Amino acid sequence: MKLLAGNSNRPLAEAIARSLGANLTQAQVKRFADNEARVTIDENVRGEDVFVIQSTSYPANDNLMELLVCIDALKRASARRITAVTPYFGYARQDRKTEGRTPISAKLVANLITRAGADRVLTMDLHSGQIQGFFDIPTDNLQAAPTMAADIERRHAKTEELLIVSPDAGGVVRALTLASRLNAELAIVDKRRKGPGVTEVANIIGDVAGRRLIIVDDIVDSASTLCGAAQALHDAGAAEVSAYITHGVLLGAAIERVNASTLKELVVTDTIEPDPRVGPQGKIRVVSCARIIGEAIRRIANEESVSKLFD
């Protein structure tokens, strides 16, 4: 087994390698003067089971192309099996036609990864489960719920006082998974989308008055919707509101928006390398998913069950 890291999230790749007691494969993943991706693998990988660790986060197009070039380099170097490990799968929100004459970009990206030569995909908390069906190769969609649940149990002594909140109807299954692990109740925010990244809270399903709430979702981008939901829940009588989000995209003024909001805390995983502005002085905290990804890699390499991780 060999681990090859791209440049999108080097700290996570190194943490995964440490969890497996392995070293990252020696390689040069660089750019030509015109920003073309250039990959040279400095170790023999013939007949090896290789895992390419590369989130397709911002800049999404550059990181995606880097992943594809890494896969192609391994294929031409006669690697036995290539697994694309994409902790954050970009373009996942474009998973259906929402109006006429629009693409299904998630399917396009799945095709690109497959045609580049990947034999398998390992990712975490896809925006929607049906994206697994976009791939014609085996795809494992890991869950951040075990990592989140363990952190919540450490930080919140009385988990029975908690109320898990889904920020919309589409996230109910994800929120319910976490709620069942914590033996907590569930509430739902009825969110109406007015446009890309623009939503409003129409209704709150469940009694949130006096409760400690935890919003659970897969992606936080501009954080305007998240902060708006937190304010609506506070206005409905919640004692405090925190959020656990898998993928902290956090572009633009998102970090400042979170720090100025009514949120007590926003916890994200390291599927995307944290912005340098995320620090101990603010409301955003990072928990690592390196151990669970590393264990999934070990199980795949040993032909063991990955789904057992979530039993």
Both 161 and 279 in one domain: the answer is yes
- pLDDT beyond 70 at 196: no
Element (H, E) at 211: none
- Residue 264 has which token pair? 């007590």
Both 274 and 150 in one domain: the answer is yes
Both 299 and 208 in one domain: the answer is no
Assign residue 163 the CATH number of its domain.
3.40.50.2020
How confident is the model over 250-275, as a mean pLDDT? Answer: 96
User: Rounded to an integer, what distance in angstroms lies between the CA atom of residue 71 and that of residue 48?
Assistant: 13
Q: Which of the residues 2, 30, 191, 194 is marked catalytic?
A: 191
- pLDDT beyond 70 at 155: yes
Both 76 and 151 in one domain: the answer is no
pLDDT of residue 203: 85
Q: Which of 210, 168, 164, 208 is nearest to 183 (CA)?
A: 164
Distance of CA 29 to the CA centre of its chain: 23
Instruction: Map tokens 């909001």 to a residue.
Output: 261
Both 36 and 99 in one domain: the answer is yes
Both 180 and 299 in one domain: the answer is no
- pLDDT beyond 80 at 199: no
- pLDDT beyond 60 at 197: no
Domain range for 116 is 2-142+291-310
pLDDT band, residue 279 (cuts 50/70/90): confident
Q: Which of 53, 56, 61, 73 is nearest to 11 (CA)?
A: 53
- pLDDT (tens digit per residue) in 287-298: 999 999 999 999
Both 105 and 171 in one domain: the answer is no
User: Rounded to an integer, what distance in angstroms lies between the CA atom of residue 266 and that of residue 112?
Assistant: 34
Percent of the chain with pLDDT over 90: 86
pLDDT band, residue 190 (cuts 50/70/90): confident
pLDDT of residue 198: 59
Does residue 192 or residue 112 have the better pLDDT?
112
- pLDDT beyond 70 at 133: yes
pLDDT of residue 193: 64
Number of domains present in the structure of the chain: 2
- pLDDT beyond 60 at 143: yes
Both 101 and 173 in one domain: the answer is no
- pLDDT (tens digit per residue) in 39-81: 999 999 999 999 999 999 999 999 999 999 999 999 999 999 9
User: Rounded to an integer, what distance in angstroms lies between the CA atom of residue 174 and that of residue 183?
Assistant: 14
Q: What is the sign of the dihedral through the CA atoms of 226, 63, 19 and 46?
A: positive
Both 38 and 123 in one domain: the answer is yes
The number of residues in the chain equals: 311
Annotation marks residue 2 as catalytic: no
pLDDT of residue 170: 83
How confident is the model over 284-310, as a mean pLDDT? Answer: 96
pLDDT band, residue 269 (cuts 50/70/90): very high
- pLDDT beyond 80 at 11: yes
Bridge partners of residue 285, in order along the sequence: 267
Both 149 and 277 in one domain: the answer is yes
Cα dihedral 36, 37, 43, 46, rounded to 10, equals -100
Percent of the chain with pLDDT over 70: 95
CB atoms within 10 A of CB 56: 28
Both 27 and 136 in one domain: the answer is yes
User: Rounded to an integer, what distance in angstroms lies between the CA atom of residue 13 and that of residue 54?
Assistant: 8
Bridge partners of residue 219, in order along the sequence: 247
Three-class HEC string of 175-189: HHHHHHHHCCEEEEE
Both 158 and 47 in one domain: the answer is no
pLDDT band, residue 93 (cuts 50/70/90): very high
User: Rounded to an integer, what distance in angstroms lies between the CA atom of residue 17 and that of residue 20?
Assistant: 5
User: Rounded to an integer, what distance in angstroms lies between the CA atom of residue 289 and that of residue 214?
Assistant: 19
